Amino acid sequence: MNLMLAPMEGLVDPIMRDVLTRLGGIDLCVTEFVRVTNVLLPTRTFHRLAPELLHGGKTRAGTTVRVQLLGSDPACLAENAAKVAGLGAPGVDLNFGCPAPTVNRHRGGAVLLTEPELLYRIVSQVRAAVPEAIPVTAKMRLGYEDKSLALECAQALASAGAAELVVHARTKLEGYKPPAHWDWIARIREHVTVPVIANGEVWTVADYHAIRAQSGCERVMIGRGLIAAPDLARRIASDQSATPMAWSVLMEWLLDFYQQCVAEAGESRYPPARLKQWLGQLKKTYPEAAAFFERIRRETSAENILKIMRDMSAK
């Protein structure tokens, strides 16, 4: 597994995973986080966020999907991890990187990087609760306010039993502002004995090779770069630095994505909102996305937008 699709709440949902993995080049996905508080979640919650559990833990393209949990209660996380493993999850990932203020205020995500000892307890208890054959992994940032605990946190996760670490090379306070500190990933990789996956600020094939060279990591996780250029993974896998696919080809995939959203949510505000959200990301790569966005900016009817897209695809 060389290239992983990053979990991004509200963006990389099951439909997006389906489309991007069918485009090709992605070796593994991680779900949006499942928020764990102090209860054992019902099966329907896991199936809603990870419907791939109903299909052997894989997308339609056959790409493995790990289920990510977020929380701060070691015992409750362990109980829910055991349940999702029993539902067929190919792997359980733990979120220590989410920068969202609401999540952090409720002791989830990146704020836990201020408590290395808690990280250790969470991972060790989850690892003990999950069958040995199922990997328990973790995703972290370089810290909360600064990087002073980065190595200690990585060591805590690794020594507690995490099979591998994904490192987003920024702190919580740095958010998604460039640059990503790829040299810190190299420091962490040299400090732990488990595999490290590099993550952060990969937008092009050249960025992919650069983060591998600077971090020393063989594997890379990409988030926003794959949303902005959906065939980036395929171009990386084929070792081609060619320009992204033509807009006319991408329109067919956008139509596929939108039709799935309509099939799921019907004539509601959800399909138009999801399409506009993706177009906002695609504008980074495709000028045509900006023009299309303006054309449907005020349109709220799912059916009207579907007609517009079909007309555009037919031309």
Tell me whether residue 219 is annotated as binding: no
Q: 29, 98, 153, 261: which is the annotated catalytic residue?
A: 98
Q: Is 224 annotated as a binding residue?
A: yes
Residues paired with residue 4 on neighbouring β-strands, in sequence order = 28, 221
End-to-end CA distance of the chain: 39
Q: Has 147 been labeled as part of a binding site?
A: no
How many residues comprise the chain?
315
**Annotation-wise, does 170 bind a ligand?**
no
Q: Is 209 labelled as part of a ligand binding site?
A: no
Task: Respond yes or no: is residue 217 known to be catalytic.
Answer: no
Q: How far apart are CA 110 and CA 139, in angstroms?
A: 10
Spatial distance between the Cα atoms of 50 and 44, rounded to a whole number of angstroms: 10
Q: Which of 238, 240, 254 is nearest to 288 (CA)?
A: 254
Alpha-carbon gap, residue 229 to 285, rounded angstroms = 6
**Angstrom distance (rounded) from CA 252 to CA 309:** 9
Consult the annotation and say whether 201 binds a ligand: yes
143 annotated as a binding-site residue: no
Is 168 annotated in a binding site? The answer is yes
Residues noted as catalytic: 98
Annotated binding-site residues for FMN read: 68, 139, 168, 199-201, 223-224
